[in-house]
Amino acid sequence: MSIISSNIKFLRKKKGLTQQQFADEIGIKRSLVGAYEEDRADPKYELLKKIALYFEISVDDFINETINEKWAPKPKGNPANLRVLSISVDKEDNENIEMVPVKASAGYLNGYADPEYVAALPKFYLPMFKQGTYRAFEIKGDSMLPLPSGSVIIGEYVENWADVKAGDTYVVVSKTEGVVYKRAGNKYKENRSLKLISDNPVYEPYEISNEDILEIWKAKAYLSTQLPEPAPAPTMENLTSMMASMQKSIAKLQQGNN
């Protein structure tokens, strides 16, 4: 018996409900309740959320914890708590890197935890990323120049949001802002907002409440079809400035040795 099936059965009985009564409460057929409890079928993600809400537990605990008389829920708001993360694997059981194009960003907010949605995303595999879970996000706009619009950020899943460091760049998925690529302005702390900063100074920093955040991915690499331009040839003004800087450095060294 799977964790989900045993949890449904235990929680239903704890409430003193028959399969029919429980089915009526959730709005499904009694036969489905029997199929779920006997591990003949798995409820889809939306139904899992509805069942978890009915029993007043988190979806994470519902699908990951064996719930019985000895079980106790984890404290709410603890950033170390596991979160639902759907992944896909290739034929050799390597985790894929799912690609979230700009056009799919809006749908990702609803389907990020749905295995069927994630499995339908474009995917690829890079052998250099063997440890950890990665996802690729296409970015749009010029807020993170010099990275051009259309670049693809490969991010590593951040399970513990307390690991977020000020100054590092992340893909932040939130209810209010959607999918954005920004630089963190502060460490993640409970009951505080997360400051997001654009590398392009034209854009003002802004804050997002922790309650709005759905996922955080630490930027590890990027892909772009726009190759960098060659460095411009040094001008006489640049060479003069470099020579003046070198002379100052030499003068300071000489003063230190005297």
| Bond before 205 cis per omega within 30 degrees | no
Q: Which helix (H) or strand (E) holds 218?
A: strand 213-223
Nearest CA to 188 out of 202, 168, 203, 178 is that of 168
> In this predicted structure, what is the pLDDT of residue 77?
45
> In this predicted structure, what is the pLDDT of residue 191?
66
Task: Burial-class residue 12 by CB neighbours within 10 Å (0-12, 13-18, 19+).
Answer: buried
> In this predicted structure, what is the pLDDT of residue 144?
93
> In this predicted structure, what is the pLDDT of residue 211?
85
> In this predicted structure, what is the pLDDT of residue 189?
79
> In this predicted structure, what is the pLDDT of residue 174?
92
> In this predicted structure, what is the pLDDT of residue 138?
95
Instruction: Indicate the SS3 state at residue 13.
Output: helix
Model pTM? 0.60
> In this predicted structure, what is the pLDDT of residue 241?
78
Angle at alpha carbon of residue 60, lines to 51 and 3, rounded to 5°: 70
> In this predicted structure, what is the pLDDT of residue 245?
80
> In this predicted structure, what is the pLDDT of residue 80?
42
> In this predicted structure, what is the pLDDT of residue 79?
44
CA distance 37 to 58: 19
The pair of structure tokens assigned to 75 is 């404290």
pLDDT by position in tens, the chain (length 258)? 688 899 999 999 999 999 999 999 999 999 999 999 998 988 887 888 889 889 888 887 888 888 988 887 655 444 444 456 777 787 877 889 999 999 888 889 888 878 888 889 999 988 888 778 899 999 999 999 899 999 999 999 998 888 899 999 999 999 889 999 999 999 887 668 899 999 999 999 999 998 889 999 999 999 998 887 777 777 777 778 778 888 887 877 777 666
